[in-house]
Amino acid sequence: MESLELFSPNEGLASELQEAILSLSQSKLSHQFRDEGLLLQSLTHSSFFNERNGQENKVQSDNERLEFLGDAVIGLVIAQSLMEQFSKASEGKLSRWRSSLVSRKTLAEIALSLGMNDWILLGRGERQTGGAVKISILAGVFEAVVGALYLDAGLEKVNKFLRQAYTPWLTALTELKDSEARKLFDMKTHLQEKTQELYRAVPSYQLIDTWGPEHEKNFKVEIQIVGKSVAYGEGKSKKEAEQKAAQTALEVLGF
């Protein structure tokens, strides 16, 4: 497919571009939308909508409202799936696993695995700054597509789609031992439980450095336990850096 960067908002090619995106996405989703406008809306980032507002444009809104709906639907389907697969798991474990499975990072990874980065309608500026692979944008479009699919085809279709999309993540969780699953899906929680058990203290996370342009910042975090520096982690968000630092700390401490 031609890069979206080639299309100026004044070139009058919005309609052709949108048709190409619709064809690609419906093929990958294995669903022909009764209301293609819903799907188009789910793929429309606010930067694209604002840039083309008033010009040739089939979509009437950006995807933020569908993103809101999709978030709720994903949470419901994943909660039900976890309850079915882990009938003996406690509420606490189920909550931690669900939290990780519906996190922005996981949603973005699933969106990339499905090729959704090629579907997103982005404004020129957002496209040129790597918007198609930003975690927040990928996660948002995945949620919005789920919201559109729910409105167009109902919960049964969404349930089937999500369980297929999540297969590698759910399979990994099923095959891991409980302790390994905790490390994989929530290293901060696992580290806190261990430090409370052994040292009667919780880890302290300190942001010690940030660098890079505003749209692509990097964060570095230090973990201290009972006043001693144990590990560092770096990531594209403070949360990601904390999780990586926690993973390193677990390895350093032999957990």
Q: Catalytic residue, from 36, 62, 71, 222: name it.
A: 71
* Nearest-angstrom CA–CA distance, 200 and 220: 26
Q: At what angle do helices 104-113 and 167-175 cross, to 10 degrees?
A: 120
The tokens of 167 are what? 């297969």
Q: Is residue 223 within 8 Å of 236, Cβ to Cβ?
A: no
The tokens of 174 are what? 């099923």
Question: Is position 186 annotated as part of the catalytic site?
Answer: no
Q: Catalytic residue, from 143, 186, 222, 240: name it.
A: 143
* Nearest-angstrom CA–CA distance, 193 and 197: 6
Which long-range contacts does 239-244 make (Cβ < 8 Å, 24+ apart)?
A: 240/105, 241/207, 242/188, 242/205, 243/187, 243/188
Question: Is position 62 annotated as part of the catalytic site?
Answer: no
Residues classed as catalytic: 71, 143
